[in-house]
Amino acid sequence: MTKTLTKLESLEAQSVYILREAYREFKNLAMLWSIGKDSTVLLWLSRKAFFGHVPFPLVHIDTSFKIPEMIAYRDRLAKEWKLNMIFGQNKAALAEKRTFPDGKLDRIACCKTLKSEALKHTLAGDWPRYRLNHQTGQYDLDANKEPYTGVIVGVRADEEGSRSKERYFSPRDRNNEWDVGDQPPELWNQFKTDFAPGTHVRIHPLLDWTELNIWEYIEQEKIPVTKLYFDQGEGKRYRSLGCFPCTFPVESTAKNVQDIVQELKTGKFANIAERSGRAQDKEGGGGLEVLRVDGYM
Amino acid sequence: MNKQRDQMNVVVVGHVDHGKSTLIGRLLADTGSLPQGKLEAVKANCARNAKPFEYAFLLDALKDEQAQGITIDTARCFFKSQKRDYIIIDAPGHIEFLKNMITGAARAQAALLVIDANEGIRENSKRHGYMMSFLGIKNLTVCVNKMDLVNYRQAIFDQIQREYSAFLKEINLVPQNFIPIAAREGDNVVELSAKMPWYKGASILRALDHFSKAAPKDEQELRFPIQDIYKFTEDGDDRRIFAGRIESGAVNVGDDVIFLPSQKYSRVQSIEAFNKNSESLAFAGQSAGVTLATQIYIKPGEIMVKKDQRQPHVSNKFKANIFWMGKQPFVKDKNYKLKLATQQAPVVLSDILGVLDASELSSIAGKSQVDRHDVAECVLETLKPIAFDDIFTIAETGRFVIVDNYEIVGGGIILAPVFEEETSLKKYIASREFNWERSQITPDTRAKKYEHKSALIVLTGPQGTGKVEIAKALEEDLFKDNRFAYFLGLSNELLLNPGQATDKTLSRLGNIQELGKVAHVLTDAGLILIASVSDIDDYELNMLKTLTLPRQTLVINVGENRFSHSQIDLQLPADQDPHASSQQIINVLIKSILIDPEYFI
């Protein structure tokens, strides 16, 4: 009797393996949860890996410009699944209105300020972290200021050119920078889990997944996702989620997960980049790569 | 439920400038897999810069790559045939990027190896072929490219096929096919070309579709390397779950299992999963979790196998082929870290049997180190026994990587275990004894004078059982009784080997070694040396005892006894009054080292 795994089962097994490696090897481990479909699948895979538990904090960078449904969805799942939920924010920039919507920065500079910078300092622990208090339902200042040395991120290789060059375990130096030219080898499921003090490692369990795989898995596992991904009757839905001033919906009448899977299978979007509704990618020459070398996800 | 399409990873390798990126660009373009407008955009860009368009440009997604004009890393792109989806991995041909090429190839189930018909077989054509054999990739198609530059002549293709087949045969690799192509022109890439009517085989795309994935591994013997052991107590969860990926075979609820190298055994009680119906079977490829019928203590890294099946080797020495990627050479007399499946152990290079010149396949004799990009046959010695298979039996547990200074610097495949008595520990002891200048005062004389023999007393057991308090109480009680007793904490800075202090695996064994060396000196001086080491395992204890010889080592276990076969001299409960525990230890000492009634009060 021969048993083999389906495509989704193999993807799941590999991601679970990577998550368990990360959990065993990194004492200060955190997962970035952007509230989007990918990192929500990642969160689900963590519950798979740890048999219903999520044994590390989830970090969200709140730019304050997120679509409001996203925050409501974040807090609902955080409470339901008893997550160790943390958010960080560039309070100074927001107070000084140094943002794109306030007209003081262009889109790329705004991303750098509200996301990359906030992320860097939240991970390092030198800016305040706010942690969900499950008793009160409010966010309190987190006492733990230790830097996270392992950061799990839901990037996929098929999303965008620069992401296709990532490793499962990808080191970042003291300045959060990514040296694309000198990455560690990965073979036979042995990864870079040893790292020098002061550096940290980004962990990418979803690297081999495609947009279709993500939706097929959401369908198979019945993972709750925010309704922003579905057409609410206006013939539009979000394909990729971000801040409202820079994120635009696509034309689609997909009303549920099954519809999206069907839609992707027709190849309707095959020739349109998934992040094409994200305005910052289009700025300058290779916007996302410029951002990523500097620590953006 | 919708049918999921099959998926396969394909790596494209070969010497630099032999046309790997062009082949990929062509595959993407001719299967209609490029994003809308991409082809036109790249063509327009070329026209603007007055340079001829090349399909290879399609791949240059990253800017710094375009600046250098070479593929610096493994890029991934996707295309479809009618049969399945392909993830194609473009691996760099430059020798400096060997580690990137290996990373790409290690993820692949199939390989396209590109050789320039005009230039012929070059150094990396052979090196990459060798790496495919090393990495265990069975689906290989050799693409003889740039046939347009040799006027599509069959004689040239036949010559390369003959020569390269002979080479591959030497390294036990049989390619599925050789295909003459002109990637730039699209000849024989997706469709067969009229320009080579003499070629009757498949196009590249057809050849890829003919590849089959690796045979399912569930019918081999069970190899379940334990990745971690979980006990999440939240919400009253009391399961103790042994998690890991099943590398081969299958396991059923009720199976009798053995953990190696510790030799502990138990029975599988349940197979655990989240958001899934409960199963009674887990099989190869799954990242699974089991609970056991008995409570046993093992550490991550052990391999769970079935009691009634052929078992892996357990040894600390083996013969292996390795390839080296480190900037520093692989040298003897240095501790490295070995990672095999989920096991980690300190390892030393014990012997170099031959270094292979990969481009010529000839052996370079008499090398005393393995340099960057070398392939070598070596004997490696781990400082504690590990469980493994040879590469021919079960590949997943027959290969390993070597870590030095935070980086993976080498990879290897195990050819066979080496069973011999000569270990580096024994060598060290022989050399120590040879160089030791003995004093006039014999151990007996010293024992009579001090009214006790010397010994090492090791307190061990799980963490947090009050071992240090007992050790200190014992030191105090013996001291008050005029015994020469001394308590030594292992966290003592002097014992730490600074170079290895940051690596858990290396520093743990390094500390035990240092403790053994210190214990040998201090017990030779006549002392009763007391040390506390949490969770010392059978092999670590054996090493400590061996280093302390000829003096006695007494083992006091506090709390749960986690040894599988070591004898302990006294078992103490955790959280007992330290002086009460101390008294129990002294009672044991009276029977062993304080025995001489003539001198004992």
B497 near A CB under 8 A: no
B216 contacts in A (CB within 8 Å)? 2-4
Rounded to a whole number of angstroms, the distance from the CA of B22 to the nearest CA of chain A is 17
CA B552 and chain centroid, separation: 36
Output DSSP code: residue B6: P
Rounded to a whole number of angstroms, the distance from the CA of B569 to the nearest CA of chain A is 33
Look at A208 and B87 and tell me if their CB atoms are within 8 Å.
Answer: yes
Q: Contact B247/B217 with Cβ under 8 angstroms?
A: yes
**How many residues comprise chain B?**
601
B407 contacts in A (CB within 8 Å)? 184, 192, 194
- The predicted pLDDT at position B66 comes to 38
Structure token digits, residue A153: 């991120």
Name the residue ranges covered by the structural domains of chain B: 7-210, 224-306, 315-420, 439-592
A47 near B CB under 8 A: yes
Look at A183 and B100 and tell me if their CB atoms are within 8 Å.
Answer: yes
B76 contacts in A (CB within 8 Å)? 157-158, 164-165
- The predicted pLDDT at position B495 comes to 52
When the pLDDT of each residue in chain B is averaged and rounded to a whole number, the result is 86
Q: Domain B315-420 carries which CATH code?
A: 2.40.30.10
Confidence of residue B599 (pLDDT cuts 50, 70, 90): very low
Look at B273 and A23 and tell me if their CB atoms are within 8 Å.
Answer: no
Look at B403 and A194 and tell me if their CB atoms are within 8 Å.
Answer: yes
- The predicted pLDDT at position B575 comes to 85
Other C-beta atoms closer than 10 Å to the C-beta of B362 total 10
What number is the average pLDDT over the span B475-491? Answer: 86
- CA B34/CA B30 separation, integer angstroms: 9
Nearest CA in chain A to B241: A51
Q: Which amino acid is at B186?
A: G
Nearest CA in chain B to A48: B274
Rounded to a whole number of angstroms, the distance from the CA of B65 to the nearest CA of chain A is 9
B230 near A CB under 8 A: yes
B216 near A CB under 8 A: yes
Compute mean pLDDT per 10 residues along chain A, 297 residues long, and list them.
Answer: 82 96 93 92 96 95 86 93 94 87 83 88 93 94 92 82 71 71 84 83 91 94 92 89 83 92 82 67 54 59
> What is the tally of helices (H) and strands (E) in chain B?
13, 27
Rounded to a whole number of angstroms, the distance from the CA of A224 to the nearest CA of chain B is 13
Confidence of residue B61 (pLDDT cuts 50, 70, 90): very low
Nearest CA in chain B to A274: B35
| Residue B498 predicted with pLDDT over 60 | no
Interface pTM, i.e. ipTM: 0.91
Residues within 8 A of B (CB atoms), A 224-243 only: none
Task: Choose the closest CB to B35 out of A47, A273, A289.
Answer: A273
Look at A185 and B102 and tell me if their CB atoms are within 8 Å.
Answer: yes
According to the 3-state scheme, what is the secondary structure of B299-328?
CCCCEEEECCCCCCEEEEEEEEEEEECCCC
Rounded to a whole number of angstroms, the distance from the CA of B77 to the nearest CA of chain A is 7
Q: Contact A290/A277 with Cβ under 8 angstroms?
A: no
Task: Choose the closest CB to B275 out of A24, A48, A195.
Answer: A48
Beta bridge partners of B178: B142
Residues within 8 A of B (CB atoms), A 178-197 only: 180-181, 183-190, 192, 194-197
- What is the pTM for the complete model shown? 0.83
What is the SS3 assignment for B531?
strand
- CA A24/CA A207 separation, integer angstroms: 20
A188 contacts in B (CB within 8 Å)? 106, 396, 399-401, 411
- CA B33/CA A189 separation, integer angstroms: 29
What number is the average pLDDT over the span B30-55? Answer: 79
pLDDT digits (tens, 9 = 90+) for B367-382: 889 998 888 889 999 9
- Give Rg (Cα) of chain A: 19
Residues contacting residue B89 through CB under 8 Å, at least 6 positions apart:
B9, B10, B11, B12, B74, B75, B76, B104, B105, B107, B108
The dihedral built from the CA positions of residue A155, A158, A162 and A164, taken in this order, carries a sign that is positive
B224-306 shares its CATH topology with B315-420: yes
Beta bridge partners of B571: B557
Which residue from B575, B576, B525, B532 is spatially nearest to B555, judged by alpha carbons? B532
Query: To probe the interface with B, which of A7, A194, A291 has the most B CB atoms within 10 Å?
Result: A194
Task: Mention the CATH class of domain B439-592.
Answer: alpha beta
Confidence of residue B245 (pLDDT cuts 50, 70, 90): very high
- CA A116/CA B508 separation, integer angstroms: 38
B149 near A CB under 8 A: no
Look at A4 and B339 and tell me if their CB atoms are within 8 Å.
Answer: no
- CA B304/CA B259 separation, integer angstroms: 5
Residues within 8 A of B (CB atoms), A 148-177 only: 157-158, 161-162, 164-165, 167
Task: Mention the CATH class of domain B224-306.
Answer: mainly beta
Rounded to a whole number of angstroms, the distance from the CA of A79 to the nearest CA of chain B is 14
A12 contacts in B (CB within 8 Å)? 287
Task: Choose the closest CB to A24 out of B36, B300, B400.
Answer: B300
Q: Contact B204/B189 with Cβ under 8 angstroms?
A: yes
- The predicted pLDDT at position B32 comes to 82
Rounded to a whole number of angstroms, the distance from the CA of B164 to the nearest CA of chain A is 26
Task: Choose the closest CB to B228 out of A24, A167, A197.
Answer: A24
What number is the average pLDDT over the span B578-597? Answer: 83
- CA B592/CA B601 separation, integer angstroms: 15
| Residue B200 predicted with pLDDT over 60 | yes
Look at A185 and B232 and tell me if their CB atoms are within 8 Å.
Answer: no
**For residue B550, is the peptide bond before it cis, meaning its omega torsion is within 30 degrees of 0?**
yes
Nearest CA in chain A to B287: A13
- The predicted pLDDT at position B501 comes to 52
Residues contacting residue B207 through CB under 8 Å, at least 6 positions apart:
B141, B176, B177, B179, B201
pLDDT digits (tens, 9 = 90+) for B74-89: 455 778 888 888 888 7
Look at A164 and B63 and tell me if their CB atoms are within 8 Å.
Answer: no
B412 near A CB under 8 A: no
| Least confident window among A122-126, A169-173, B401-405, B506-510 | B506-510
Give CA separation, A185 vs A10, B324, B355, B409, in Å. 22, 11, 22, 8
- The predicted pLDDT at position B201 comes to 94
| Residue B529 predicted with pLDDT over 70 | yes
| Residue B67 predicted with pLDDT over 50 | no
CATH of A7-210, one of 3.40.50.620, 3.40.980.10, 3.90.226.10, 3.40.50.800: 3.40.50.620
Output DSSP code: residue B282: E
A161 contacts in B (CB within 8 Å)? 61-62
Rounded to a whole number of angstroms, the distance from the CA of B460 to the nearest CA of chain A is 24
Name the residue ranges covered by the structural domains of chain A: 7-210
Structure token digits, residue B520: 């040998």
Residues contacting residue A24 through CB under 8 Å, at least 6 positions apart:
B227, B228, B300
| Residue B386 predicted with pLDDT over 60 | yes
- The predicted pLDDT at position B2 comes to 44
Look at B76 and A82 and tell me if their CB atoms are within 8 Å.
Answer: no
Look at B216 and A4 and tell me if their CB atoms are within 8 Å.
Answer: yes
| Residue B219 predicted with pLDDT over 90 | no
Q: Look at the domain B7-210 and name its fold.
A: Rossmann fold (3.40.50)
Query: To probe the interface with A, which of B252, B274, B399, B502 has the most A CB atoms within 10 Å?
Result: B274
Rounded to a whole number of angstroms, the distance from the CA of A210 to the nearest CA of chain B is 10
Output DSSP code: residue A131: E
pLDDT digits (tens, 9 = 90+) for B441-456: 988 888 888 888 999 9
- CA B416/CA B391 separation, integer angstroms: 8
B348 near A CB under 8 A: no
Residues within 8 A of A (CB atoms), B 153-212 only: none
Counting one residue from A and one from B, how many pairs have CB atoms under 8 Å apart?
Answer: 167
B35 near A CB under 8 A: yes
B287 near A CB under 8 A: yes
Rounded to a whole number of angstroms, the distance from the CA of B298 to the nearest CA of chain A is 15
